[in-house]
Structure 1
Amino acid sequence: MTAVYKCPYDNLLILNIATTCEERNFDYPLEIIQFSIVVIDTRTKTIREDVKFNRYVRPIINPMLTDYCKSYTGIAQATVDTAEPFPVVCEQFCEWLQVHDFQETRYAFVALNRQDLWLVAQYQFLLTKQPLPAMFRQWVDMNALMTKAHQGQYTSRPEEDFVQNMSDFYSIRYEGKARNALDNCEFLAKVTKRFLDDGNLVTVNEILKCFFGNRNIPLTVDPEWGTKFISAMEVHERILPLIACHTGRFFPEDHYGMCHYCKQPASVCTGREHKQYPKDMYEQLREPSVFAITAGLVKEQNDHFGHYVLNRYRPTGKFKEAGVQGRAVAVFDILHNRDGLIMKRIMHPEDYHRELTVLQAMRGQAGFPHLHDFFTTPAHLGGVQYFLVMDYEGECLDDVSRRTDRGISNYNLMRITYKLFWTLESLHIQGYCHRDVHARNVVIRQEFDGLVRIKLIDFGMSLPLDPSPMPDRNLTSWHASLEVCRGDAYSRFDDLTSSLFVAMWCIRLNPFGEDHGQYLTRKVTFDANPLVWFTKELKWIGKLYNSIQLQRSSGYSHTDMFDNFHKWDPEFDPTSPITHSVIENQLRIE
């Protein structure tokens, strides 16, 4: 063991991150769900047991963890439901650094490899539309250090299990839960300390740059890249604005937070602008990249006119429905040999632009339709018409609820409402309100994995939440809140209130009557004492209504709002699957 560690830093912050994930899908919008740090004090040569940082994080894009994610990470849905979103956790981490006097140029992050910082951290900040902080622009890639120091003895390739390889090489036993971020940190701290004890140098060997010559070499995209790790990493290297590069020269005082290409600090080279935009690569993709679109990295997604191809879509006759905003039919995409699509012709251009804006903003997020295509027809073909093409997402909740003989059970009603609240919160976080939530704008179906999921549709009336939109028409309806019926400015709380009225509609609980002219008066009466309308088992709806009304004045609190579901029956998990049956090819909610 050396007398003094070969390390230019006072402290090494061993970092590991767990993310949302989906099995065999690398075109997935990753979100951090656990962020952990363990500290090595290089001056005392100790792993500090008294100073650790470990936080779970609530995902926003896909708030419901996949079964694969829960199994892979060991993180339960309830754990992330009660956690703070990433911006809050990041702020807590910065405060933790200050409390323990970790000065930026005097510590370095140590990671298993480059994925945690180049891929996950960079992408997370893109999702939250924030510049990447200087502290995340450089790190120690422990796998790369070991490969270089132990040439011919230690090798580890990207698709292999780094933890297992390190454990085998140093005979250091992994303790704890596999793939738990904090337990990974504890293990990596032991490996790093052993590496230092053997007299090896530990210093920054990976940095982020805004430009790298190899990215100018054309990439032939593997058609199956979304399901293959190595191919996906090649695509992600082009998609992400900043690229990870190895460095053999890093001086903390001179290079900290600086881009080694443009020589600008992180405050200037923020990672928000892509200086090597991969247009040719995007053109090769068979399907738009959900990973890229969700983070707003595709320039073309701001286009609202699309590309019209004559006779590309052939009606199949499987589905046809007309509404106030337009007409929808089932179609087959001849160009891509794709069935299961709905083409919607929208009557008014402002409704088209509103809906397209939201669908593009919510692309890849759970609870929203998948936008397949959009286009306007040329004027010389009989006038400009506006079309959206989306995946068929199921039957409307109104129709499904009507075929349930005994009515939707209380627990399923709570599950549906919980999932609808989650979906609306995702929309609100992106800065939009729906303004037309009702039982025919919620669709439901059994998907390929056997689970029943709901999605929100029809965004022709959607508007940005800021500034609060004033009504441009009379929005009084059965599903509208009292405030909307009064003509007040619209807010997120009106969407949430409407979702409660959806639940009431599904069980035929009707305190508002059938007379449109009486809706306002009856809603005033309902607002005065909502609890009297509900049986004991349904009182949670009234309590949620009161919570919404309270937060209109006190401000929105995710935790307080969703606690209403969890506290009503502590033995019941509102995130659990909707129970159902399929009879004569028709979905029935129990």
Structure 2
Amino acid sequence: MCPYDNLLVLNLATTCEERNFDYPLEIIQFSIVVIDTRTKTIMSLSLNINRNQNLDYQREDVKFDRYVRPVVNPMLSDYCKSYTGISQATVDNADTFSKVFDQFCAWLQEHDFQETRYAFVALNRQDLWLVAQYQFLLVKQPLPAMCRQWVDLNASMNKVYQGQFNSRTKEDIIQNMSDFYSIRYEGRAHNALDNCEFLAKVTKRFLDYGNLVTVNETLKCFFGNRNIPLTVDPGWRTNFFSAIEVHERMLPLISCHTGRFFPVEHYGMCHYCKNPASVCTGMEHKQYPKDLYEQLREPSAFASTAGLIKEQHDHFGHFVLNRYRPTGEFQGAGVQGRVVAVADILNNRDGLVMKRALRADDYHRELAVLQAMRHRAGFPNLHDFFSTPAHLGEVQYFLVMDYEGECLGDVARRTNGGISNSNLMRIAYKLFWTLDSLHMHGFCHRDVHSRNVVIRQEYDGLVRIKLIDFGMSLPLDPSPRPDRNLTSWHASLEVCRGDAYTRFDDLISAIFVAMWCIRLNPFGEEHEYLAKKVIFDQDPFIHFNDELKWLALLYTEVNHQRSAGYSHQDLFDIFFKFNPDFDPTSPITHVVTENQLTID
């Protein structure tokens, strides 16, 4: 029994890190398999082409399966690649979520799936309550009406079979269903499409036995239990069940069970306020968990990345006298500011860097980028920011960030020009990814060079790079005209000529960073930069040996896209196709001797 013409069995794969449930997860595979409930047929859609002749035609493989390119953490963790079976190259060549969702809506229209005449079927509540809701928060769009109700298959089977069917963790639920109905799981575990096909078989069997399949979960904006203070488990970030309790408070909408029948007029409606999805959008939290955030020792990456935190800690963004104590570990100075290693006395936290911006404009530019890119891979974590009050004298502007490592230029010099081609490509790939993420958030860097790229071995033993120093950053649109002379060794020919700055100039600078790391200098001294860059631009290939020709290919493709338009796939394909046997997403190989990092 089913009140819908079609059931759309849904499964979503996401980015993830092992034992980290405070992770800003993003959809990387979006899969749907269709059940025609009138014929109880899986993955086909009965189309009555000529109703007068009563002819039925079968259209096979009516399914939707797309990979999705993540934006917040574009580089998949090794655990994620192993768990989902999805490679870095696969997501690199995919569209972002907004485009994939548009494709899904077009697919629904193409197959004439009418809202209220179909329902999603999911393994449990996680895919829609948690994953879909969070993904739409990331892209700053209201949760669509179609995602506000669904069939929780696990809950349906538990209700019908009660003690005969026991639900456990997500992985065990699938195994439990397989054992209960003697339906073998085919395909790769955790692949979204393979999950859909298995769940479709289970749903069909459930229907075949005469059970009711109807919406049994909806979302609402208010739940009484959320008014009861929650004592947060200090280890919630690594405990699945504790994390679920936290996420239930953080997310604006919470799932709830429905009655036996789900009226069609309730479609897309909030189960609490009775408003449609266009009014109760899920963009505003009606039970903001201030008490929860106050208990957290560190800001939640899950919450802050999605913009769920209304206010920061009382001291965040405010001057507190003598809060930061210099540790003497290092200090430095640049064109845009001075930096010193500090410890936060108030929070007993070391490993921080405090930067004093020399100009207010540079401070505000950098702050805008750091806030926009907070908790995103490839960017420094903003710990605090403040300006000193005028009554203490000249107003000074400070940014406090986590220490993120040594300058790439210093590490490169340590290798005496010996960075291998493999590691050079890995570094360039990661730098391109980081810049692409910055550009997708609407900023250009305008000062990419080897001292503004930092590198270090992190807690998991992997070497990662990050981009720093955003004092010259500006919005990409409109293309900023130069407000100062930006000519430098790392600047593109167009920048040296004084042209308006574009994303392509950042990418050209990234190529020059790679060249700098191996001491390849076709540009000579400062007075020669412009003339020699004109020569280089005419035929970049003559400057590279066969092993390094990928740099010339990148340079040529970037300049081609200045007129043809940006293509993520065409650009990143160069990394994968230059040597098909090499994976540019693989870890940077290195050694650490006496606390000094050396790149092989």
TM bucket (normalised to shorter chain) is: over 0.9
1:526 maps to a residue whose letter is: F
Q: Determine the C-alpha separation between the residues in 2 that align with 1:405 and 1:504.
A: 14
> Residue 35 of structure 2 corresponds to which residue in structure 1?
40
- Alignment pair present for 1:202 and 2:223: no
TM-score of the superposed pair, with normalisation by structure 1: 0.95
> Residue 576 of structure 1 corresponds to which residue in structure 2?
586
Aligned residue among 356, 363, 366 for 2:377: 366
Checking the alignment, whether the CA contact within 8 Å between 1:293 and 1:301 is kept in structure 2 is no
Aligned pairs, number: 584
Q: Is the alpha carbon distance of 1:536 and 1:160 closer, same or farther for their aligned partners in structure 2, counting shifts above 3 Å?
A: closer
Displacement after TM superposition at 1:436 (Å) = 0.8
| Structure 1 alignment gaps of length 5 or more | 1-5
Checking the alignment, whether the CA contact within 8 Å between 2:365 and 2:473 is kept in structure 1 is yes
Find the residue that maps to 1:151 and give its secondary structure. helix
**Mean CA deviation greater in 351-360 or 170-179:** 170-179
1:14-53 aligned within 5 A: 14-48=9-43, 50-53=61-64
**Mean CA deviation greater in 86-95 or 305-314:** 305-314
> Residue 554 of structure 2 corresponds to which residue in structure 1?
544
Q: Determine the C-alpha separation between the residues in 2 that align with 1:361 and 1:88.
A: 21
Find the residue that maps to 2:534 and give its secondary structure. helix
Checking the alignment, whether the CA contact within 8 Å between 1:484 and 1:490 is kept in structure 2 is yes
Aligned residue among 60, 66, 91 for 1:55: 66
> Residue 3 of structure 1 corresponds to which residue in structure 2?
none
Find the residue that maps to 2:280 and give its secondary structure. coil
Q: Determine the C-alpha separation between the residues in 2 that align with 1:259 and 1:525.
A: 64
Q: Determine the C-alpha separation between the residues in 2 that align with 1:243 and 1:469.
A: 43
> Residue 520 of structure 1 corresponds to which residue in structure 2?
530
Aligned residue among 544, 557, 561 for 2:571: 561
Displacement after TM superposition at 1:28 (Å) = 0.3
Displacement after TM superposition at 1:20 (Å) = 0.6
Q: Determine the C-alpha separation between the residues in 1 that align with 2:536 and 2:516.
A: 15
> Residue 495 of structure 1 corresponds to which residue in structure 2?
506
The superposition leaves residues 38-82 of structure 1 with CA deviations (integer Å, 9 ceiling, x where unpaired) of 111110012126222212212111111111111211222222222
Aligned residue among 323, 326, 329 for 2:340: 329
**Mean CA deviation greater in 278-287 or 541-550:** 278-287
**Mean CA deviation greater in 556-565 or 261-270:** 261-270
Displacement after TM superposition at 1:464 (Å) = 1.3
Q: Is the alpha carbon distance of 1:443 and 1:451 closer, same or farther for their aligned partners in structure 2, counting shifts above 3 Å?
A: same
- Alignment pair present for 1:442 and 2:442: no
The superposition leaves residues 115-136 of structure 1 with CA deviations (integer Å, 9 ceiling, x where unpaired) of 1001101111111222222211
Displacement after TM superposition at 1:151 (Å) = 2.3
Q: Is the alpha carbon distance of 1:311 and 1:121 closer, same or farther for their aligned partners in structure 2, counting shifts above 3 Å?
A: same
The superposition leaves residues 255-308 of structure 1 with CA deviations (integer Å, 9 ceiling, x where unpaired) of 222223333322332222222222222222111111111112222369997133
Q: Is the alpha carbon distance of 1:300 and 1:524 closer, same or farther for their aligned partners in structure 2, counting shifts above 3 Å?
A: farther
Aligned residue among 232, 242, 256 for 2:267: 256
Aligned residue among 217, 222, 227 for 2:228: 217
> Residue 74 of structure 1 corresponds to which residue in structure 2?
85
- Alignment pair present for 1:315 and 2:333: no
2:536 maps to a residue whose letter is: F
> Residue 279 of structure 1 corresponds to which residue in structure 2?
290
Q: Determine the C-alpha separation between the residues in 2 that align with 1:309 and 1:228.
A: 35
> Residue 427 of structure 1 corresponds to which residue in structure 2?
438
> Residue 506 of structure 1 corresponds to which residue in structure 2?
517
Checking the alignment, whether the CA contact within 8 Å between 2:214 and 2:262 is kept in structure 1 is no
Q: Is the alpha carbon distance of 1:570 and 1:302 closer, same or farther for their aligned partners in structure 2, counting shifts above 3 Å?
A: farther
Displacement after TM superposition at 1:324 (Å) = 1.4
TM-score of the superposed pair, with normalisation by structure 2: 0.93
Displacement after TM superposition at 1:474 (Å) = 1.6
The superposition leaves residues 379-421 of structure 1 with CA deviations (integer Å, 9 ceiling, x where unpaired) of 3333332222211111001101111134212221111111100
1:574 maps to a residue whose letter is: P
What do you get for the CA RMSD once the two structures are aligned? Answer: 1.9
Q: Determine the C-alpha separation between the residues in 1 that align with 2:506 and 2:335.
A: 19
1:134-283 aligned within 5 A: 134-157=145-168, 161-248=172-259, 251=262, 253-283=264-294
Checking the alignment, whether the CA contact within 8 Å between 1:307 and 1:374 is kept in structure 2 is yes
Q: Determine the C-alpha separation between the residues in 1 that align with 2:170 and 2:301.
A: 22
| Structure 2 alignment gaps of length 5 or more | 45-60
1:262-411 aligned within 5 A: 262-300=273-311, 306-411=317-422
> Residue 479 of structure 2 corresponds to which residue in structure 1?
468
Q: Percent identity?
A: 79
Q: Determine the C-alpha separation between the residues in 2 that align with 1:426 and 1:84.
A: 14
The superposition leaves residues 456-499 of structure 1 with CA deviations (integer Å, 9 ceiling, x where unpaired) of 00111111112222222221111111222222221111110110
Checking the alignment, whether the CA contact within 8 Å between 2:123 and 2:153 is kept in structure 1 is yes
Find the residue that maps to 1:150 and give its secondary structure. helix
Find the residue that maps to 2:43 and give its secondary structure. strand
Find the residue that maps to 1:314 and give its secondary structure. strand
Q: Determine the C-alpha separation between the residues in 2 that align with 1:167 and 1:284.
A: 41
Checking the alignment, whether the CA contact within 8 Å between 1:304 and 1:356 is kept in structure 2 is no
Q: Determine the C-alpha separation between the residues in 2 that align with 1:100 and 1:44.
A: 17
> Residue 7 of structure 2 corresponds to which residue in structure 1?
12
Displacement after TM superposition at 1:376 (Å) = 2.4
The superposition leaves residues 63-115 of structure 1 with CA deviations (integer Å, 9 ceiling, x where unpaired) of 11111111211222222222222122212212221222211111100001111
- Alignment pair present for 1:115 and 2:126: yes
